[in-house]
Amino acid sequence: MKTHALDLRDRRKSFGRLEEQVFDVLVIGAGITGCGIARDAAMRGLSVALVDRADIGAGTSSRSSKLIHGGLRYLAQGDLFVVKEAAVERRAVRAIAPHLAQTMPMIIPLRGKTDQAKMVAAMVAYEKLGGVAPEEAHEVWDQAELHAREPRVRSGKLIGAVVYPEYVTDDFRLTLANARSAASHGACVDTYARVETLLLEGGKAAGAIVQAALPGEDDAARVRARVVVNAAGPWVDAIRRLEDAAAKKKLQLTKGIHLVVRRERLPLDNTVIMATPDRRSIFAVPRDCFVYIGTTDTFYPQAEYWPGITSEDFDYLLLPASAMFDIEPLTGNDVVSAWAGLRPLLGAEGKSPSEISRRHETMEGPGGVLSVAGGKLTSYRSMAERVVNLCEKRLQRKSNPPPTAEEPLPGGDFAGGPEKLRSQLESLGLNPADSERAARLYGAEALEISSKDAGPAGEVRHAVECEGALTLEDYWFRRSARARFDVGPPSALIRAAEHMSALMGWSEDEQMRQIERCRNLHAEELKARAETGNQ
């Protein structure tokens, strides 16, 4: 078997495994929170089951802004603990998965001397608190340097910029890497496995009934566990209500959207911060041949996998971008893809969406279920460590945190840094753009994937045999991110479907259904494009 292989095709077998033992820990939800917890627990030698009603990372953990924040933005909220934690955690992600934490300068434009003094003071405080390495300290660019380094920024009314390095990741792939690492340490991982009922014995949670959730399936497994962890992100309250029908709502969901435009329409080399009329900050982040612009922050009533994107959302992001950059104004037609995600924040009476703290909290229900809500992608590892410490306490074991900040994640074990990896890929015949993409998504594993088959064929095989993909959407939207960052011909989706069909044993009808689903989801995300006032 290949290292870290997660092949979930034999559904009977994997559902069967869920019934074979009483697990130490059952984790509900395979977003970054659940996958981080499962990895930490499995590395401590606990027996772990990790189940998700959809794909790994299908909820919020594939719809973030994809930044491993150093924590500067939390300084303004006075959340010093979060600032410190974020700074430490981003170093940890860089150590275990360098390909998933690549440095990208973040430009904060300065409008005047007062602006500059405040910003520099905040930077100095942040660098001190977070123990930022000297080579990652901020710089101040004057107007001429800003113009030279990022010529599309309208710098006429600016005096310059403060610039500091942020790390850019692929949120889904970080989540997947944790799930695969958990599996290689013995965790039973099952996707399209929906928790429908919690098992309560003497009023105490003792596991769950898990229903197979792919179309046409009716298998169910009775999973028994000593500790049940609810890491269901935006659905945390729904699981809490399975434990206690009268449980009060704890979450306040807010929606954030991102729009992707071609880089030739918005030629940037760095991430640039922009101000909105309601005095929030949004940003434009270059990625491959694209730039994505995000994000909004508005209350959203219920948990959904595909929250609607409105024409107001489009305008909210496109108008400030058109004002900030010296380009032909962006219109809805420039947007090639979009995504929306829901922040599972802990409700705070009277606060606006952006004011609600991003801290996490662990709640214990009457049946003993540990529910984890709030938090960030950035600090998933330390959050997981604290939750598993609680699990060990419950299991009456001495707390023994494993080396989660040292052991590389799948793909994270390569010497010489991303630069060397990219040149090795080029020597295999990949062009520079494809090498860059492959190195960033797959890390060291890119060498094996690309040496066998060029293009989607190798990726699809790897997705199915090693990354637990079960549907075309799993590959197209999440594992490869091609739904959002690919300008290949429309036939690329069909070719990917053909490769996947052969591996999955789909009929022609099923293959067509899988393609249609991807096309419909993509069209739905862009539906509001035609109605934007910014045409």
Please state, in angstroms and rounded to a whole number, the distance separating the CA atoms of residues 467 and 461.
9
Query: Rule CB under 6 A: is residue 205 a binding residue for ligand FAD?
Result: no
Nearer to ligand FAD, 37 or 504 (CB): 37
CA separation (Å) from 320 to 99, 153, 273, 280? 31, 12, 10, 11
Q: Residue for token digits 């962006």? A: 330
DSSP 78-118: T-HHHHHHHHHHHHHHHHH-GGGSEEEEEEEEE-SHHHHHH
Stretch that binds ligand FAD, among 23-31, 113-121, 181-189, 422-430 (CB under 6 A): 23-31
Query: Rule CB under 6 A: is residue 480 a binding residue for ligand FAD?
Result: no
Report the largest interatomic distance among the alpha carbons of the chain, rounded to a whole angstrom: 71
Nearer to ligand FAD, 47 or 354 (CB): 354
CA separation (Å) from 130 to 60, 81, 124, 138, 245? 26, 10, 10, 13, 42
Query: Rule CB under 6 A: is residue 69 a binding residue for ligand FAD?
Result: yes
Strand partners, 110: 160
Residue 380 region, left (φ>0) first, then alpha (ψ -120 to 50), else beta?
alpha
Binding ligand FAD (rule: CB under 6 A), the pick from 24, 38, 46, 53 is 53
As measured in angstroms, the least distance from the Cβ of 99 to ligand FAD is 17
Binding ligand FAD (rule: CB under 6 A), the pick from 375, 410, 443, 458 is 375
Region 441-470 residues binding ligand FAD, contact defined as CB under 6 A? none
Q: Residue for token digits 């053909």? A: 498
Query: Rule CB under 6 A: is residue 60 a binding residue for ligand FAD?
Result: yes
CA separation (Å) from 315 to 79, 279, 460, 529, 534? 31, 15, 36, 10, 6
Q: Residue for token digits 């992100």? A: 233
Contact 27, 50 (CB under 8 A): yes
CA 55 distance to own-chain centroid: 13
Query: Rule CB under 6 A: is residue 14 a binding residue for ligand FAD?
Result: no
Q: Residue for token digits 């279920």? A: 369
Binding ligand FAD (rule: CB under 6 A), the pick from 27, 49, 64, 445 is 64
Please state, in angstroms and rounded to a whole number, the distance separating the CA atoms of residues 230 and 238.
10
Binding ligand FAD (rule: CB under 6 A), the pick from 231, 274, 370, 439 is 231
As measured in angstroms, the least distance from the Cβ of 28 to ligand FAD is 5
Stretch that binds ligand FAD, among 230-238, 349-357, 361-369, 398-406 (CB under 6 A): 230-238
As measured in angstroms, the least distance from the Cβ of 426 to ligand FAD is 30
Nearer to ligand FAD, 29 or 443 (CB): 29
As measured in angstroms, the least distance from the Cβ of 379 to ligand FAD is 7
Nearer to ligand FAD, 256 or 456 (CB): 256
Vertex 80: Cα angle to 93 and 249 (nearest 5): 85
Q: What is the pattern of x (binds ligand FAD, CB under 6 A) and - over residues 377-396?
A: xx------------------
Stretch that binds ligand FAD, among 338-346, 425-433, 440-448, 516-524 (CB under 6 A): 338-346
Stretch that binds ligand FAD, among 93-101, 279-287, 370-378, 517-525 (CB under 6 A): 370-378
As measured in angstroms, the least distance from the Cβ of 453 to ligand FAD is 29
Q: How many residues does the chain have?
A: 535
Query: Rule CB under 6 A: is residue 256 a binding residue for ligand FAD?
Result: yes
Structure token pair of residue 99: 């390909």
Stretch that binds ligand FAD, among 130-138, 315-323, 324-332, 369-377 (CB under 6 A): 369-377
As measured in angstroms, the least distance from the Cβ of 246 to ligand FAD is 19
Contact 232, 342 (CB under 8 A): no
Binding ligand FAD (rule: CB under 6 A), the pick from 14, 65, 271, 532 is 65
Stretch that binds ligand FAD, among 29-37, 109-117, 132-140, 403-411 (CB under 6 A): 29-37
Strand partners, 522: none
CA torsion, points 322, 325, 327, 332, in degrees to nearest 10? -30
Q: What is the pattern of x (binds ligand FAD, CB under 6 A) and - over residues 164-203?
A: ------------------------------xx--------
Binding ligand FAD (rule: CB under 6 A), the pick from 70, 234, 332, 411 is 234
DSSP 232-286: -GGGHHHHHHHH-TTPPP-EEEEEEEEEEEETTTS--SSEEEEE-TTS-EEEEEE
Q: How many residues bind ligand FAD (CB under 6 A)?
A: 39
Terminal-to-terminal C-alpha distance of the chain: 53
Query: Rule CB under 6 A: is residue 83 a binding residue for ligand FAD?
Result: no
As measured in angstroms, the least distance from the Cβ of 101 to ligand FAD is 11
Interface positions with ligand FAD (CB under 6 A)? 28-34, 51-54, 58-61, 63-67, 69, 194-195, 231-235, 239, 256, 295, 341-344, 375-378
